[in-house]
């Protein structure tokens, strides 16, 4: 399998474009302030508006932590319920979305640990891979010159899911927030209450772990 440096640098440009898009939306004003105020005053409609606004993102984060639609639905509901219960204690020190994602990552991580202890992911991952059988070795022909083709492959998707299922919770969380959900470093640092430098180095280490697993499965 060969990808030349040029292709890689093209990929870099793509990524940079998406990074700057995410980055540009970061400012200090909280768009949700009004809704949050009404919601804290007991306005259920305002809460519903917040749910509608964030349900897709929260569900997606939940799904990445547990890897199962039913579990994800339960977890996402737990996250919003916790937000509803605690909204009165939300003092607006951070954006509402940051606070909501703090709850989401906390709960997500807890649920992930719980499920992992019970072998939820081991059973899942291996059975999915077994279904593929021999295909796993043929999925990436050596001549693949087109990264899009490579990246859209079903096998690589499965390999990625298995790889993140094996990550330790702190690594999984940061990979979810940055590489899957595309949040900015600034936002992630706030959510995880980490210095931005730590956020970046932790993400790097997590990616290196995933990379090694992908290499092992796909080369």
Partner 1 sequence: MMDCERIADYFRAVYEGDSDAQTGKMVKDHLKSCAACREEFKWYGVTIQALANLEQVAPPNDFLKQLNARIDKNSSIFQSIISQIKNLMNAIPTAPVPVGAVSLAFVTFCAFLVYNYTPPELSQGGKSGLSLNSNAQNGAIAVDSASRPVDSGMVASAPFSPQTAPFSHAYVPYDGPGRSSSVAWRFPTVADEIGADNLTVESPQMDLALKSLKEILPDIQGKLIDEKFRNAFGEALVGVIIPSSRYGDLTSALVNYGAIEVGAKSLESDSPAPTKVDSRNVRLYIRFTQAPK
In the region spanning residues 118 to 177, those forming contacts with partner 1, defined by CB under 8 A, are: 118, 120, 147, 150-152, 156-157, 159-161, 164, 168-170, 175
Q: Could you tell me if 189 and 196 are in contact, meaning their C-beta atoms sit under 8 angstroms apart?
A: yes
Q: Which stretch binds partner 1 (CB under 8 A): 31-39, 117-125, 128-136?
A: 117-125
Q: Which stretch binds partner 1 (CB under 8 A): 32-40, 82-90, 128-136?
A: 82-90
Of 95 and 111, nearer to partner 1 (C-beta) is 111
Q: Tell me the CA distances in angstroms from 125 to 120, 147, 158, 216, one per residue in order.
A: 9, 25, 8, 15
Of 135 and 197, nearer to partner 1 (C-beta) is 197
Alpha helices, DSSP H only, in the chain? 5-24, 33-40, 44-66, 69-86, 96-117, 120-132, 135-138, 147-152, 154-165, 169-175, 185-192, 196-218
Which residue from 43, 56, 123, 145 is in contact with partner 1, where contact means CB under 8 A? 56
Of 118 and 137, nearer to partner 1 (C-beta) is 118
> In the structure encoding, which two tokens stand for residue 11, read together?
């990929």
Positive/negative CA dihedral, 104, 107, 109, 111: negative
Of 23 and 34, nearer to partner 1 (C-beta) is 23
Rounded least distance, CB 172 to partner 1, Å = 10
């Amino acid at each position: 399998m060969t990808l030349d440096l040029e292709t890689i640098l093209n990929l870099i440009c793509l990524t940079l474009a998406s990074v700057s898009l995410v980055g540009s939306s970061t400012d200090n004003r909280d768009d949700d302030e009004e809704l949050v105020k009404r919601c804290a005053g007991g306005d259920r409609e305002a809460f519903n508006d917040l749910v509608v606004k964030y349900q897709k993102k929260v569900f997606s984060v939940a799904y990445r932590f547990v890897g199962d639609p039913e579990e994800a639905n339960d977890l996402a509901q737990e996250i919003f319920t916790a937000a509803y219960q605690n909204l009165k204690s939300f003092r607006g020190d951070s954006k509402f979305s940051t606070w909501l994602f703090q709850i989401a990552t906390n709960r997500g991580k807890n649920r992930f640990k719980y499920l992992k202890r019970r072998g939820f992911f081991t059973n899942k991952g291996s059975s999915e891979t077994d279904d593929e059988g021999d295909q796993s070795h043929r999925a990436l022909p050596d001549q693949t010159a087109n990264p899009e083709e490579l990246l859209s492959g079903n096998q690589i998707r499965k390999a990625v899911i298995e790889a993140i299922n094996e990550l330790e919770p702190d690594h999984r969380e940061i990979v979810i927030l940055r590489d899957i959900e595309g949040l900015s470093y600034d936002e992630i640092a706030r959510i995880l209450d980490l210095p931005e430098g730590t956020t970046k180095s932790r993400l790097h280490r997590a990616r290196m772990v995933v990379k090694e697993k992908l290499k092992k499965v796909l080369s």
